[in-house]
Structure 1
């Protein structure tokens, strides 16, 4: 059974922190917002977390109805973790945290790990300038894609998109400037800090 952790306060914020306030929980959500992941993939993209800690957090998150575990059909026959609707509803929370934390990001420290898709959430606001569509983003560290729906919903995934209508190439320094609001996407393109190639819009 998962450990019982509670602030024992009749407060909505306290109840939320009961579920997601533990170390690593929101970063696991960040990874799963990009789509279902195997345990080994989660562990690889969460440098610093122990296997016991990750397994324990995932069990707690299953008990809190944030994630679910399912088996892929053959020939894969592997188990993946994915967010429930309740877990997916944490995207605005992570967006707010990313916007709040962006001004303090600065240059990567020597001990910092970097993954390209970690810039997806901070870039959502800048990519919303384009309106609905799918943008394939390429950094030196890798690539990911962002989908902005016609209803304003946003989602992202690791790796290339199956059908992108725009291709953005930039660097992490420009991503930080876009995330903090120092630059708009249009300004980044105009000044040569980003290259944006647009094709036909996805309906």
Structure 2
């Protein structure tokens, strides 16, 4: 078992990883492949493959937002017939090592539905106390998710103002929403209206 970082989204391992991605995630949750490839190729996303015998068993894809001191774990998945063997934890620990060694990053975020939320909690993520709706890629709908973070002990959780700025960047750069998309303003209002 080994992890490999892909700095160019090409070749047979990449094609195998993308085939798994398309099998695992529903259409509304799938970022366009051409955009993922561009983000990997220009260094905005960090792609780690988990391989055995030159076969892809899983992948983590993390978007880097250095100007706002955070990263977003966009996707972490394991091939269905290899799940339940601790491989997701192995990929997540590799990401934690990268995160902890990167002084420019204060927070590592992830969006999670109820099942994955428990998995991420076991790994040390904390759920933020905010109503969070993840935009769909293929329509104007959104899906409720837990927004979670991981931080080193020296960094407190983001303030509601920092979080509003972070979410705006995620919605604009990762979900490709237009600045006037009502989902962006509604999410900012949900965050900023929270009591301190």
TM-score, normalised by the number of residues in structure 1: 0.34
Q: Higher Cα Rg: structure 1 or 2?
A: 1
User: Comparing both structures, which one devotes a greater share of its residues to strand?
Assistant: 2
TM-score, normalised by the number of residues in structure 2: 0.35
